[in-house]
Structure 1
Amino acid sequence: MREHGRRLYRIFLSMLFAIAQSGLSQAESLPGSTLERIRQTQTLRIGYGITPPFSYIGPNGRVMGYSIELCERVAQSLRVQLGLQRINIEYVFRTPSNRVQLLNSGMMDIECVASSNNAERRRRVTFTRSHFLVTTYYVSLAKNNLRTLADLRGRSVSVALGTVNVSQITQMNREKKLNLSIIAVDTLQKAFELVGQEKASAFAMDDILLHTMIAASPNPQDYALSSEPVSEQVSYGFMVRLDDDVFRKAVNTALNHIFHSADMESIYARWFTQPLPGSGINLNWPMSDSLKAELLTRE
């Protein structure tokens, strides 16, 4: 009987240990304080995508782009802020559809691509200060002579899932009663290719991204951008986890320094006014006065 009691006691202790270990594992898997985790692991997890010139994979397999260069410089600033001897960067591939999930699950610390800062997204993530400004237009085949929003009436428009352009086109369609057929696909490139294949009349996306895809296409002269915008100007920011204000402020401290540094002019030129690393395409996209003013503000 006494042996039976001891056996039950050992089982009870084993159950308590298992529960404790389970709780510890769950706690360790939660994002927690981003800065503290970076301090402990000496690693910053950067989310990247296939969105040149902001984030893409070069011919040597290296992740690169305007947003990536800024975030790599942010990483070095965080190293100094945290008093680390070194900091490693772990690149995490994300798509427009899964970026918020990867961020809030702790799989990545900061998304360094081209995400528009809007109210809908701010309910789920936090944004750092702006690093670019864009306006949504649409691209179509030049031969179809589509330029205005009214020209799209009764036609098909492709959009990429997980982008703000889906809601922009849906709202425009409802307000202007254009009777559009909206085709949602999982990548920007697929949405663009539908236009070239004449499976969609137009593709709605941010101006700089459309400009880049047209320039990289085999026959850029076949495409034309709309003369009328689909949306008002919005800003790109780096997404970080919701309510992690300490990390956001640390990143903004780094960005303030970068944007006011003597290097900023050459950083911008490398990705927008010079042959693009890895492709040789020159986007010829000089910095606008509004972007200059935005970068020179402090937050």
Structure 2
Amino acid sequence: MRERDTTRAAWALAVATGLSILLGMSSAARAQIAQPTLEKIQSANRIAVGYREASLPFSYLDANGKVIGFSQDICNRVIAAIKARTQRPNLEVRFIPVTSQNRIPLVQNGTVDLECGVTTHLRARQSQVTFSNTFFVAGTRLLTRKESGIHDFQDLVGKNVLTNQGTNSEHLLRTMNLQKQMDMRVISARDYVEGRESIESGRAVAYMMDDVLLAGVRSLLAHPSDWVIVGTPQSREAYAFMMRNGDAAFRQLVNDTMSAMMKSGEMEALYRKWFEQPVPPHGVTLDFPMTAQLRALYAAPDDRAIN
């Protein structure tokens, strides 16, 4: 009996210990979930918005240092919805510049509440952050001089090729270089400002990034008509806003706002403004018509990853 009692006691202790560990783990998991974003914004009367400094025409600074662009116009509508939901009409908007390298960590640690730039929704990133509805779909291609002799990716063998650090394009280009043994020298720029300077100086023969962003870079070059965007798209990039994981209510508000814009025709009007009409700073038109794929997406919004 004494041995049986001892066994029962040991079993009870083990169960209690196991429950304690499980409860502790549950508490730790709960502790990692940030304060609900809308509650955080309402309490502080402030929202932190991540933006890009030179991603024309999506998110960039104008001559007066104001954040403008297609992404920012959408973001402004979301901010208006947040003001209404939190009953904070005088909500302070704090703009925080982000880069390809730091954008995800800044969302994860709560420095940025909503990232409104040019981030691709990848399945590999879903464990780190939550994505909104897709608002643009781009293809990864090449920007090069008309006389460069570069027409597609196979022409890059042994050449200096530029891309941006921390992007899906960089990953694709380096993987292609390794798998196809192309002997390319891959140069990774910090941002589009450095990229534009590098391609214009001749440091690289081609610039691989999303086609629409390359169109933005081209519009800022000294002689845009000397440059062409070429090559078979190597991927489809679904742009979306980023938020912290684990906040379904905030994600729903963002998605509802964007869906309403898409279905009402407001998103299409913004598209014409930024892609089919002259845009700051030089008044150049990107001449980037809306694709059938994007038009279909606006008719039936979703927040699914393509890749």
Please give the TM-score of this superposition, normalised by the length of structure 2. 0.83
Residue 224 of structure 1: how far off its partner (Å):
2.3
Which position in structure 1 is the counterpart of 2:66? 62
Runs of 5+ consecutive residues of structure 1 not aligned to the other structure: 1-27
Aligned with 1:137: secondary structure? strand
The answer (yes or no) to whether the contact 2:46–2:94 under 8 Å persists in 1 is yes
Which position in structure 1 is the counterpart of 2:20? none
Residue 262 of structure 1: how far off its partner (Å):
4.0
Which position in structure 1 is the counterpart of 2:116? 112
The equivalent position to 2:184 in structure 1, one of 168, 180, 185, is 180
Whole-Å Cα distance in 1 between the matches of residues 65 and 196 of structure 2?
A: 24
The answer (yes or no) to whether the contact 1:157–1:203 under 8 Å persists in 2 is yes
The answer (yes or no) to whether the contact 1:126–1:240 under 8 Å persists in 2 is yes
Q: Deviations over 1:97-139 (max 9, x none)?
A: 1111211121111111111111232232111010100000011
The answer (yes or no) to whether the contact 1:141–1:195 under 8 Å persists in 2 is no
The answer (yes or no) to whether the contact 2:196–2:221 under 8 Å persists in 1 is no
Whole-Å Cα distance in 1 between the matches of residues 280 and 204 of structure 2?
A: 31
Aligned with 1:260: secondary structure? helix
Aligned length: 271
Q: Deviations over 1:18-74 (max 9, x none)?
A: xxxxxxxxxx9x942111111212322111112111011112221111100101100
RMSD of aligned C-alpha atoms?
2.0
Are 1:225 and 2:229 matched, yes or no? yes
Which position in structure 2 is the counterpart of 1:47? 50
Are 1:73 and 2:77 matched, yes or no? yes
The answer (yes or no) to whether the contact 1:147–1:228 under 8 Å persists in 2 is no
The equivalent position to 1:256 in structure 2, one of 256, 259, 265, is 259
* Sequence identity (%): 29
Runs of 5+ consecutive residues of structure 2 not aligned to the other structure: 1-30, 303-307
The answer (yes or no) to whether the contact 1:159–1:188 under 8 Å persists in 2 is no
The answer (yes or no) to whether the contact 1:141–1:196 under 8 Å persists in 2 is no
Please give the TM-score of this superposition, normalised by the length of structure 1. 0.85
Whole-Å Cα distance in 1 between the matches of residues 281 and 226 of structure 2?
A: 23
Question: After the TM superposition, which residues 118-133 of structure 1 pair with which residues of structure 2 at under 5 Å, given as runs?
Answer: 118-133=122-137
Residue 159 of structure 1: how far off its partner (Å):
1.5
Q: Deviations over 1:73-95 (max 9, x none)?
A: 00111222334444332111111
Question: After the TM superposition, which residues 138-287 of structure 1 pair with which residues of structure 2 at under 5 Å, given as runs?
Answer: 138-229=142-233, 231-287=234-290
Are 1:288 and 2:295 matched, yes or no? no
Residue 263 of structure 1: how far off its partner (Å):
2.7
The answer (yes or no) to whether the contact 1:271–1:277 under 8 Å persists in 2 is no
Question: After the TM superposition, which residues 85-104 of structure 1 pair with which residues of structure 2 at under 5 Å, given as runs?
Answer: 85-104=89-108
Alignment CA distance shift 1:235-1:123 (3 Å): same
Whole-Å Cα distance in 1 between the matches of residues 79 and 166 of structure 2?
A: 27
